[in-house]
Amino acid sequence: MIEVSNLSKTFQKDDIEVQVLRDVSLTIREGEFVSIMAPSGMGKSTLLNILGCLDKSTEGTYVLDGFPVHDMDDDELSRTRNEKIGFVFQSFHLLPRMTAWENVILPLVYSDNEFNMKERAVQVLTTVGLADRVDHLPRELSGGQQQRVAIARALVNNPRIILADEPTGNLDSTSGEEVIKIFRELHAGGVTLIVVTHDMEVALQTDRIIQMKDGRISSDLLTASQSEEAPQ
């Protein structure tokens, strides 16, 4: 599903080069539920952005679903994000003036899939337990509900991978647990999930924990919930 090898990322800040990722190699198979852990500023967001086709690596290769992402131009990256990837952000990133269902259909605006938009939005909102919040504005929803709208948006175009950046970071523990529960359900349904977090409780609910330090992968372990052998 995801094959990353020898990935490096360097940022130019003023006259100083900052290397955020150093020689990262990683394979994630279809249907895995993976967490990436690292202290702040240790490259985990950069890695997520590259895996999410929002950013490109300076060196190395990234093959997603058989396609060489490292060779793609901006249009192809956009199309890949639209068709294969769903994002869930720490601060939800909903459009404040749009209702729940209008937020959910956003990926469909840029898609070639001709869904009946509202019907599809209601369908996905129902799977995250928000069937009765379809016409609510984000500010009329609790944090947990907003994050579930964001998950519905990530799911609406049937992506292969969900990338979540600290999805429980802004939530109380109950709402956070609910989000993780939805993730586990999605995992059970065969969706590949990658969650960036610094919360060990969250990480322990995934099947595999990748820890990073100084831009490198420092450990790659299966959790107790996963009895299978770790890949690679």
Partner 1 sequence: MRILRMSKQALSAMAENKTRTFLMMLGVIIGVATLTVIASAVLGARAEVMSKVEKWGLDQISVMAGAGRKPGVPQTVPTTLKVEDAQAMLSEIANIKDVSPQINRRDFPVKYGSKTSYGVLIAANPNWVSVWSTPPETGRFFHEEDTGKLARVAVIGMTVQKDLFQDEDPIGKQILLGNNPFDVIGVLEARGTAATGVDMDSRVIIPLSTGLKRVFNQDYLFMIKTVLHDSSKMPQTVDDVRGLLRERHNLKPGIEDDFTIVTPTQVMNIASKLSTTFSLFLILVTVISLVVGGIVIANIMFIAVNDRQAEIGIRRAVGARQRDILVQFLIEAVSVAAIGGLLGVVLGLIGLKALSGFMKLPTAIMWQPIVLALLSAIIVGLMAGIQPAKKAANLNPIEALR
Binding site for partner 1 (CB under 8 A): 49, 52, 54-55, 74-75, 78-79, 81-83, 87, 89, 93-95, 97-98, 102, 106-112, 153, 157
Name which of 118 and 184 has its Cβ closer to partner 1.
118
Q: Are 84 and 161 in contact (CB under 8 A)?
A: yes
Measured from the CB of residue 78, what is the shortest distance to partner 1 in angstroms? 4
Q: How far apart are CA 135 and CA 151, in angstroms?
A: 16
Name which of 153 and 187 has its Cβ closer to partner 1.
153
Name which of 63 and 117 has its Cβ closer to partner 1.
117
Cα 122 versus chain centre, distance: 22
Name which of 184 and 198 has its Cβ closer to partner 1.
198
Measured from the CB of residue 232, what is the shortest distance to partner 1 in angstroms? 28
Measured from the CB of residue 49, what is the shortest distance to partner 1 in angstroms? 6
Measured from the CB of residue 111, what is the shortest distance to partner 1 in angstroms? 7
Where helices occur in 86-172 by DSSP H, the ranges are 100-104, 106-109, 117-127, 143-155
Q: How far apart are CA 194 and CA 139, in angstroms?
A: 28
Q: Are 61 and 68 in contact (CB under 8 A)?
A: yes
Name which of 64 and 203 has its Cβ closer to partner 1.
64
Nearest 5°: the CA angle 89, 56, 22 is: 95
Name which of 48 and 179 has its Cβ closer to partner 1.
48
Q: How far apart are CA 81 and CA 92, in angstroms?
A: 17
Nearest 5°: the CA angle 172, 220, 217 is: 95
Q: How far apart are CA 3 and CA 63, in angstroms?
A: 5
Name which of 61 and 111 has its Cβ closer to partner 1.
111
Measured from the CB of residue 97, what is the shortest distance to partner 1 in angstroms? 4
Question: What backbone torsions phi and psi does residue 104 show, to the nearest 5 degrees?
Answer: -65, -35
Measured from the CB of residue 112, what is the shortest distance to partner 1 in angstroms? 8
Q: What's the token pair of residue 165?
A: 């950046």
Measured from the CB of residue 228, what is the shortest distance to partner 1 in angstroms? 32
Nearest 5°: the CA angle 122, 126, 130 is: 95
